[in-house]
Structure 1
Amino acid sequence: MTTRMSAQPSTASAGAAPSGRRKDRFHRGAGRWLVLAVVGLFALFMISPFLLMVINAFKSPADYSGGSPLSLPQEIYTDGLAYFWQRVNFPVKLWNSVWTSALVAVAGALLSLLNAYAIGVGRVRGRAWIVAVLMIANMLPQEGLIYPLFTMAQRVGLTDNPWSIVIIFTVIQSAFGTYLLASVLGTFPRALLEAAELDGASRWQILWKVVYPIVRPTLSVLMIFFFIWTWNEFFMPLVMLTSNDNQTVPIALSSLQGDRMLDVPTLNAGALVSLIPTFLFFLFFQRTLTRGVTAGAVK
């Protein structure tokens, strides 16, 4: 009898616990909805420039001049997209941006890994000063580097050559990548490296069979950033690439703006077309970016 009496309160308390949690969750619902509303408003504020670009990209010049930038188009006008595509020879500009950005992403990540392996794992002398110099190099504005870089490109025969952009941005991006990876590899477990050396592994084998599998998520994130950063570069390609066949997408957009005339609908149409490749690239590698960030946080 006593056993039954003692079992009943425990059963009642067990049944009351879920209802208590549900009640607590219900009371916290108002705060959650408030946070969700604030986040939604902030997201709408962030995407508002994109929405304005889409609205004005499908307006005719007469529709844009007769209304306001916030008004909806009276009809879907696609001649601006066709005009931009033909005027700037967009397929050529797109290909130039794609292959230069892809090469910089791969070469910059590879150079960052080799440099960081020598600094963080190899323990070269003066590694603190090397990392400090790389950090300072990331802070230098491109306006201060353009004259010596342009002079060197002229002397080696890379004037108006996309390979000059690839070489320059590979070095610039790898400075940031080396600074980031060197700090990561500086805390690499020495016992793991010593175990690989005792097994007869060379330094090259240690790099590709021990170090690379661990830092591969970080390298993936660096490659994505290097690609997007190089794609969005404007000033350096504008100076280095003078001919129409070698220019990139950001330069093509700037050609739509004149001193006394600006075709806003065509400019918005060009910006929309130029945004689509990078948007698709980000969507395709979004899972890779998320995994790289979370893997680096866990490790």
Structure 2
Amino acid sequence: MAGTLTPAAGATRPARRAPDRHHRGATRWVVLVLVTAAALATLVPFAFMLLNAFKSPGDYSTNGPLSWPSEFYTKGLQTYWEQVDFPLKLWNSILISGSVAVLAVLVSLLNAYALGVGRVRGRLWIIGLFLLANMIPQESLIYPLYHFAKGAGLYNTRLAVIIIFTVIQSAFGTYLLASVLGTFPRTLLEAAALDGAGKWRILWRVVLPNLRPTLSVLLVFFFIWTWNEFLIPLVMLIDNQTQTIPVALASLQGDRLMDAPTTNAGALISLVPAILFFLIFQRTLARGITAGAEK
């Protein structure tokens, strides 16, 4: 028909522009609102703790835990600091958690290197045992661990807790790293072996640099997990000179009486070191998770 335009031969239609990520419908905003609400809900207990940490016992008993403090009361912080000898408890927690984190990562690396790279018979069965060990509740371990510490002369010592948690945390670390090393490129190992590198040199020069992000994440997790442990330190450490911060917090509560403002003040002080540690190593966690996703 005259005047009708027809597309030229071989011409293609222009590709549709992908929708802008800011205009993908209401679902995006609903998810964002739900995630924000969940994040704010997790902060509610910390808000109550902060609110009651600076409230006097009389104000707390009269107006309850939801009221605003009538005065800025700091004696609860001072009472907790002096009553439990907080600097000593802080040193005990740092010493135990730091030692466990370093030793558990080292033991996990050596175990996983033997299982994931070495020629160990029954490798899958051994890794399965490590997985089962992670499922054992600590309550069932208290009795044999108590007798082990008593028989070895380590009861009421920080060394006993360090040994126990090094074994517990390294069980998880061995399972995780053995799974990672099971997929480690064999070409790198064979190339290093052809160059004359022994097993130890392959471990420190080839395997360790590739696992450094994962090991950093494990180090942070092991520290935080050990820091928050309560049951085993409560049983193993009965002396004020060896107790950790969670045990010191529990000592503020009696059978029939509890000073709520002092307990909240103690919880606030005890939370600060863990938050600082997490903020310092936040980039380490982000790099480790990103590196694991890329691999």
- TM-score of the alignment, normalized to the shorter chain, above 0.5: yes
Name the amino acid aligned to 1:92. Answer: L
Which runs of 5 or more residues in structure 1 are unaligned? 1-12
Question: Quick one: distance in 2 between partners of 1:45 and 1:191?
Answer: 49
- Aligned partner of 2:74 in structure 1 is 78
SS in 1 for 2:234: helix
- Once the 2 structures are TM-superposed, how far is the Cα of residue 141 of structure 1 from its aligned partner? 1.2
Mark the CA change 1:144 to 1:65 in structure 2 (over 3 Å): closer, same or farther: same
- Aligned partner of 1:154 in structure 2 is 150
1:124 paired with 2:120, answer: yes
SS in 2 for 1:219: helix
Deviates more, 1:248-257 or 1:32-41: 32-41
- Write out per-residue CA displacement over residues 3-37 of structure 1, whole angstroms, 9 at most, x where no aligned residue: xxxxxxxxxx99x97xx96xx56644755444333
- Write out per-residue CA displacement over residues 197-236 of structure 1, whole angstroms, 9 at most, x where no aligned residue: 0000010000011000011111001011100111011110
Question: Quick one: distance in 2 between partners of 1:26 and 1:154?
Answer: 64
Percent identical pairs in the alignment equals 64
- Aligned partner of 2:47 in structure 1 is 51
Name the amino acid aligned to 2:225. Answer: W
Aligned pair partner of 1:235 in 228, 231, 235: 231
- Aligned partner of 2:249 in structure 1 is 253
Deviates more, 1:147-156 or 1:199-208: 147-156
Question: Quick one: distance in 1 between partners of 2:22 and 2:189?
Answer: 53
Name the amino acid aligned to 1:174. Answer: S
Name the amino acid aligned to 1:139. Answer: M
Question: Quick one: distance in 2 between partners of 1:32 and 1:171?
Answer: 44
Mark the CA change 1:76 to 1:208 in structure 2 (over 3 Å): closer, same or farther: same
- Aligned partner of 1:164 in structure 2 is 160
Two-structure CA RMSD over aligned residues (Å): 1.8
Q: Which has the higher helix share?
A: 1
1:180 paired with 2:161, answer: no
1:211 paired with 2:195, answer: no
- Aligned partner of 1:143 in structure 2 is 139
Mark the CA change 1:87 to 1:298 in structure 2 (over 3 Å): closer, same or farther: same
Question: Quick one: distance in 2 between partners of 1:274 and 1:215?
Answer: 32
Mark the CA change 1:107 to 1:66 in structure 2 (over 3 Å): closer, same or farther: same
Name the amino acid aligned to 2:69. Answer: P
SS in 1 for 2:156: coil
Question: Quick one: distance in 2 between partners of 1:152 and 1:34?
Answer: 54
- Once the 2 structures are TM-superposed, how far is the Cα of residue 245 of structure 1 from its aligned partner? 0.6
- Aligned partner of 1:5 in structure 2 is none
Question: Quick one: distance in 2 between partners of 1:117 and 1:237?
Answer: 31
TM-score normalised by L of structure 2? 0.91
1:94 paired with 2:83, answer: no
- How many residues of Structure 1 are paired with residues of Structure 2 in the alignment? 283
Name the amino acid aligned to 1:192. Answer: L
Once the two structures are superposed, the pairs formed by residues 57-72 of structure 1 within 5 Å of their partners are 57-72=53-68
SS in 2 for 1:244: coil
Aligned pair partner of 1:270 in 266, 272, 291: 266
- Aligned partner of 2:31 in structure 1 is 35
Name the amino acid aligned to 2:129. Answer: V
Question: Quick one: distance in 1 between partners of 2:204 and 2:228?
Answer: 31
Name the amino acid aligned to 2:232. Answer: M
1:191 paired with 2:187, answer: yes
- Aligned partner of 2:287 in structure 1 is 291
- Write out per-residue CA displacement over residues 128-161 of structure 1, whole angstroms, 9 at most, x where no aligned residue: 1111111111111112111211112112211111
Name the amino acid aligned to 2:170. Answer: S
